[in-house]
């Protein structure tokens, strides 16, 4: 099933993101994660893609196959393009088609000095335009409520996003954020710019101190005072921080649901306990 069709039925979606384990011995744990996640009856599960190749890319497709064929849930394959040429992208598309995978989160991928960039795809919009010529995938795209780190500001970021939607992205999945007001403002700016596809908020439960430090260094997300107070108070007490983080994320999701957003996409970090706790907290609201 194509993910865009969910929203055409005016249905509100629940979805999860997982990542392929790096080590062979962790591969079994992904089955345990999927067992629990699929019991929560998501509309789709997206699987991240390691930029620049390696065995993890094949793992992405292997895991997506499993989600579809073993668990009967629709997978979305993340596909980055900056470090691939057209032939390599054609090969990924061929494998996905052969497996009946219909949905791609089309991405440019992050710039990194470790990986050589190829010149066929500069933006996710180029990947979407190229693949739409010969294939029938449903394309999702990434969006950034607090701007992509490389952008010159909100206006140019939203102009770039509009090009992605004009190229054929039918659904947008957002970067994580902790302040819902930033997301609401961003959605409003998208509507003004004529972007009228569903924008699904990406929600990251923050439940341990190391993760918070990583978030601070990696993404543009701002931390509201309420969130910072919780972290400051409980960062040295593991269980307390877990409880406070779960409570924060649940209240964030409840507020989003009350604001009529089209769905919720949870970055599970392969932690099914966290996903289950959130779902239990909102079971009568979705």
Catalytic residues: 17
Near ligand FAD by CB under 6 A: residue from 18, 34, 37, 51: 51
Helix (H, G, I), strand (E, B) or coil at 162: helix
Considering the complex, what minimum distance in angstroms separates the CB of residue 80 from ligand FAD? 5
Pairing of strands 103-107, 13-18: unpaired
Considering the complex, what minimum distance in angstroms separates the CB of residue 279 from ligand FAD? 20
Per-residue tokens: 223: 């931390």
The verdict on 123 binding ligand FAD (CB under 6 A) reads yes
Considering the complex, what minimum distance in angstroms separates the CB of residue 21 from ligand FAD? 14
Of 279, 202, 210, 201, the C-alpha closest to 246 is 279
Enumerate residues 6+ apart whose C-beta is below 8 A from 18. 30, 33, 34, 37, 45, 46, 47, 48, 63, 268, 270
Distance of CA 242 to the CA centre of its chain: 22
Binding map of ligand FAD across residues 239-268, x = CB under 6 A, - = no contact: ------------------------------
The verdict on 33 binding ligand FAD (CB under 6 A) reads no
The verdict on 107 binding ligand FAD (CB under 6 A) reads yes
Q: What part of residues 136-155 is at the interface with ligand FAD (CB under 6 A)?
A: 142, 148, 150-151
Whether 11 and 261 have beta carbons less than 8 Å apart is answered as no
Note the residues at the interface with ligand FAD (CB under 6 A). 48-49, 51, 78, 80, 105, 107-110, 123-125, 142, 148, 150-151, 157, 160-161, 163-164, 173, 175, 202
């Amino acid at each position: 099933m194509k993910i865009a069709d969910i929203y055409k039925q005016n249905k509100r979606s629940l979805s999860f993101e997982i990542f392929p384990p790096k080590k062979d011995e962790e591969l079994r744990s992904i089955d345990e994660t999927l067992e629990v996640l699929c019991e929560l009856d998501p509309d789709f599960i997206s699987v991240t893609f390691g930029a620049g190749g390696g065995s993890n890319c094949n793992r992405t497709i292997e895991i997506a196959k499993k989600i579809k064929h073993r668990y009967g849930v629709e997978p979305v394959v993340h596909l980055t393009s900056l470090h691939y040429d057209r032939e390599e992208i054609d090969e990924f598309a061929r494998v996905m088609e052969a497996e009946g995978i219909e949905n791609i989160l089309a991405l440019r991928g992050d710039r990194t000095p470790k990986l050589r960039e190829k010149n066929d795809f500069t933006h996710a919009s180029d990947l979407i335009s190229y693949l739409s010529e010969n294939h029938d995938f449903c394309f999702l795209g990434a969006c950034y409520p607090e701007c992509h780190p490389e952008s010159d500001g909100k206006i140019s970021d939203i102009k770039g996003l509009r090009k992605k939607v004009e190229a054929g992205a039918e659904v947008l999945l957002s970067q994580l954020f902790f302040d819902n007001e930033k997301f609401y403002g961003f959605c409003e700016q998208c509507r003004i710019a004529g972007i009228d596809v569903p924008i699904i908020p990406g929600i990251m439960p923050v439940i341990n101190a190391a993760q918070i430090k990583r978030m601070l260094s990696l993404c543009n997300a701002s931390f509201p005072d309420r969130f910072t107070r919780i972290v400051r108070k409980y960062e040295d007490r593991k269980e307390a921080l877990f409880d406070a983080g779960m409570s924060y994320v649940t209240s964030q999701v409840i507020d989003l649901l009350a604001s009529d957003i089209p769905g919720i996409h949870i970055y599970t970090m392969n932690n099914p306990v966290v996903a289950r706790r959130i779902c239990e907290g909102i079971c009568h609201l979705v």
